[in-house]
A and B are shown apart, each in its own frame.
Chain A
């Protein structure tokens, strides 16, 4: 099966760096994407194609990839970054499947 695993929670003080990992066997072959979701709101794309940042997303959000793990890094965390974060990837080579990671709650202390 195609699964993406994230840590359930990450806690960080304001101004520090938060790193959220996402692991999956298919990640070396497929791009990863990251979404931020605040309570009661729809998800918002913050990183696409492993490390690209959409317009309007602050520069403190960055992404990287190494082997079967991708990482979302939030540098200089602000209180407004407290949210759930989901990685996502896809297998469109035959039968289309889109998979989200298990989600990580980022708490700003």
Chain B
């Protein structure tokens, strides 16, 4: 079945780095744009980044520009989010989501905690 599985979350000190992964299965990964969306504890959803199906373009919310990099390896059916210079306000559950003109498939999320 169509599935997205995130991994790589954890507790990381401010200023350090972390890389999240999202493994896709059950569909042709290379045909779809992909997103990262996050949700801080007890808060709403916040879009983070988009990468086109072929990796040729990427877009970010202003608060992560220059610190986060979205990438993909279509040969491995995997999406990544490289997060550098992490801050306490980056603490959240990070979801990957497939784009079919809408966030139609979501992973279960991976928690990133940056202590203040």
Contact = CB atoms under 8 A, between A and B. Distances in A.
Contacts, number: 49
Interface string B50-86: 1000000001010000000000000000000000000
A45 B103 contact: yes
B103 A35 contact: yes
B107 interface: yes
B47 interface: yes
Given A35-B45, A88-B102, 19 more contacts: A33-B102, A41-B108, A42-B106, A42-B107, A42-B108, A45-B103, A45-B104, A49-B101, A54-B104, A86-B44, A96-B50, A97-B47, A97-B59, A97-B61, A98-B47, A99-B47, A100-B44, A100-B46, A103-B45
Interface of B: 35, 37, 44-47, 50, 59, 61, 95, 101-104, 106-109
